[in-house]
Amino acid sequence: MKTLKIKPLLIKAFGIAAAVFIMASCTEKIDIELDESYTRLVVEGKITTDTTAHVIRLTRSTSYFYPEQAPGVSGALLTIDDGSEIITLTETEPGTYATPSDYHGLPGRNYTLNINLSEPIGGHENYTASSYMNFPAPLDSIKAVFRSEWGPDGFYEITCYVQDSSSVDFYMFNVLKNGELISDTLNKVFVTDDRFYNGNYTNGIGIGYLNQSYERQKVNPGDILAIESARITEEYFKFVTQLQIQSGYQSPLFSGPPSNIKGNISNGGIGFFATYPVSYTSTIAESN
């Protein structure tokens, strides 16, 4: 009697085929119906100490799978009251409202944004938001340091030097390269509190990073690198921090479900009206 021998490679092939068949048999298409909440007003805008036309953007919230840009809210009346003067904003395009071009904020004042809609959104026609403008804390200087060990092409780290005050402070930093704003969205700005250097001199703390793998961030010798620094409120710091967490990568196994971030808009509105002083400090990039 002959014994039938099956080669191990053939057994392995049978095992793979069986596993594929089992997994294919267990696949089932599931359509999930997502409930939609009521439409809400979304507000995005800021007032700084720069003299320019400051912009406030009004849109409507949309469904999760809405394929286009959120629709702007037109025909609203927007005013800003700083306790001494009230100005009216002009609608420059649907949903975009601007201050006069010579307008600038003054530190130490509390600013109130009043919004009167032409028709209700979320059951309300009137919305308000208030924000205090801190006094500035300009940097002494900045330095661009190339970090070759960070990533395949390295990073430029922008470090700052400044005497921090003894009060609890919150800061936001934007990076500019040759006058172009690199951190052009809130998920790219760098925000921090001063818990690790409160009341001390910051002898070269990193506040901005340029990834040399990306053409837009690539630094060449002679490039002018600048930091726009802002002393923001704790409320706005928390808003930006939560926005960056929710818009960044999260492991679905451990993260909670996304939710609307708490802003400062009344009557259930979404978003934030921010005010803060800004100052600019620059340096010239040297060769690596």
CA dihedral 171, 177, 181, 186 (to 10 degrees): -40
89 and 181 housed in the same domain: no
For residue 146, give both structure tokens: 């190339």
Predicted pLDDT of residue 79: 98
Local confidence band at 12 (pLDDT 50, 70, 90 cut-offs): very low
Q: What is the mean pLDDT of the chain?
A: 87
100 and 160 housed in the same domain: no
**Can you give the residue range of the structural domain that contains 162?**
141-258+277-284
120 and 145 housed in the same domain: no
Give the tens place of pLDDT for each residue, 54-77.
999 999 987 666 667 788 999 999
Predicted pLDDT of residue 252: 59
191 within domain boundaries: yes
Residues contacting 280, CB < 8 A, separation 6+: 176, 226, 227, 228, 229
122 and 158 housed in the same domain: no
Predicted pLDDT of residue 6: 43
Query: Of 132, 151, 185, which one is at a domain's C-terminal end?
Result: 132
173 and 208 housed in the same domain: yes
188 and 251 housed in the same domain: yes
For residue 35, give both structure tokens: 């409930």
Local confidence band at 1 (pLDDT 50, 70, 90 cut-offs): very low
Local confidence band at 179 (pLDDT 50, 70, 90 cut-offs): very high
184 and 233 housed in the same domain: yes
Amino acid at 228: E
Residue 100: give its domain's CATH number.
2.60.40
- Top-confidence residue, 230 or 16: 230
- What is residue 86's three-state secondary structure? strand
Predicted pLDDT of residue 2: 44
- pLDDT surpasses 50 at 5: no
- What is residue 18's three-state secondary structure? helix
178 and 123 housed in the same domain: no
207 and 185 housed in the same domain: yes
**Percent of the chain at pLDDT exceeding 90:** 72
